[in-house]
Amino acid sequence: MATYSENDKRKLTAQIKHKARGMGFSPVGVAPAGPPEHWGFYLDWLSKGYAGQMEYLVRNLDRRSHPGKVLPGARTVLCVGMNYDQERGAEPADERPRGRISRYARGDDYHDLMNARLKRLLGWIQTLDPGVKGRVYVDTGPVLERDFAARAGLGWFGKHTNLIHKRKGSWFFLGEILLTVPLVYDRPVADHCGTCTLCMDACPTDAIPQPYVLDSNRCISYLTIELKGAIPRPYREKMGDWIYGCDICQEVCPWNRKQARPTAEPSLKARAGLDAPELDELLSMDQTAFSRRFRGSPIKRARRRGLLRNAAVALGNRGTAVDIPVLTAALSDGEPLVRSHAAWALGRIGGPDARRALSEAAGSETDETVREEIGMALDEIDVADGPGGRRGRKREGPETSKPDKHSRVPHAASRH
């Protein structure tokens, strides 16, 4: 590798940034390849269990502790962003049940797009100096990417833990190239969140227990994507109609409300039907249909059983009897995870048809977890339809709707 004077470094840095921007990356910044500044914070976050079941965040800690352990001789971390904000689509004219998908996941898989483009950028850099070695990462390697991106001036840490750029908001992906060549490093930018706590206040599951700290166990994005088992009952109702990811903390951020520029990347624009997907259609998909529809999409990460689990919860939160048939069909799904959440949803909707479907399923169900969910769903219907329940009060009318203070029956959800 060539020896670089300060003037050489300035020239090469400018060339690389110009090339990166021409390839669709913005913002672009450069950080020194030293130990992560927030390494101690990261270890403390892990020790508190805030990573949930994301065991891959605990693996390779030694490699994560310094870029030089990933790429020997690393001198520089080239950090780039790519906008993924979406057009604001018109509200559907029909009354069909629909879910919400995080903006980043409505298009093609960004890993594929950014990896390929960053590898081309690295190849171009190596034409300038064949001795340069590099490694490309997009959200998957042993690199604390937000730490280096913040040091490279791409933004500051918001209280929701996403990186915020003063002119671009937080709707952008991150990618990195570790390089063995020294460049001119950028400076971090100041924190502009001030006293604002809108993101913390808006989170329906209180997943931000304090500024700059995320408890993944409570985060809707984690619950709908990374969590592979049953969604804890206290969080199901709070998920609303989110079926893959959640954007609430970013949607309320003033820096995002000021920056409304949809992505210019065709492959990141929303695929047909993913801005407001029909829940009954999703819940009816077999594995072949799922694989075909979400080929090349980030949504495949949740797998069929995870996405259908989420769709069942969203239908339960919608709470309308018209959805009982599709949920009843889901009680016969091959995946216990789908059956158990369909049972919960039917318990939320209630009524004689839901009760009948659950009772019939109970007679043939062999999975103990699903049987427990069916039992709790039937209990919830009993409570809701009883004298003090939400549906019982509606039938009795205003004169008898107030239960005796000594005979109130608690809502089933408060018991589980």
The DSSP 8-state label assigned to residue 172 in this structure reads E
Annotated catalytic residue, options 8, 139, 191, 379: 139
Scan for tokens 């390839």, then name that residue.
23
pTM of the model: 0.90
Comparing C-alpha atoms, which of 416, 320, 324 is closest to residue 372? 416
In this structure, the dihedral spanned by the alpha carbons of residues 88, 90, 94 and 99, taken in order and rounded to 10 degrees, is 0
Token pair, residue 217, equals: 């166990």
- The rounded distance, in Å, linking the Cα atoms of 128 and 66 is 26
DSSP letters spanning 393-406: HHHH-TTT-S--TT
- In eight-state DSSP terms, residue 300 is G
Token output for 389: 């329940």
- How would you classify the pairing of strands 100-101 and 76-83? unpaired
Coil/strand/helix, residue 268: helix
**Whole-angstrom distance, CA of residue 314 vs CA of residue 330:** 14
Q: Which amino acid is at 226?
A: E
Task: Respond yes or no: is residue 139 known to be catalytic.
Answer: yes
CB 172 within 8 A of CB 165: yes
Q: Which residues partner with 156 through β-bridges?
A: 164
Q: What is the rounded distance in angstroms from the CA atom of residue 376 to the CA atom of residue 359?
A: 12
- Number of helices and strands (H, E) in the chain? 18, 8
Torsion angles phi and psi, residue 349, rounded to 5: -75, -45
Find, among 48, 46, 69, 70, the residue nearest to 57 by Cα. Answer: 46
Task: Check if the beta carbon of residue 300 is closer than 8 Å to that of residue 294.
Answer: yes
pLDDT value of position 412: 30
Mean pLDDT by 10 residues, the chain (416 residues): 87 98 98 98 98 95 96 98 86 80 98 98 98 96 96 99 96 98 98 98 99 98 98 98 98 87 94 94 98 98 99 98 98 99 98 98 98 98 77 48 31 30
Strand, helix or coil for residue 315: helix
Count CB-CB contacts under 10 A for residue 91. Answer: 7
pLDDT at 257: 85
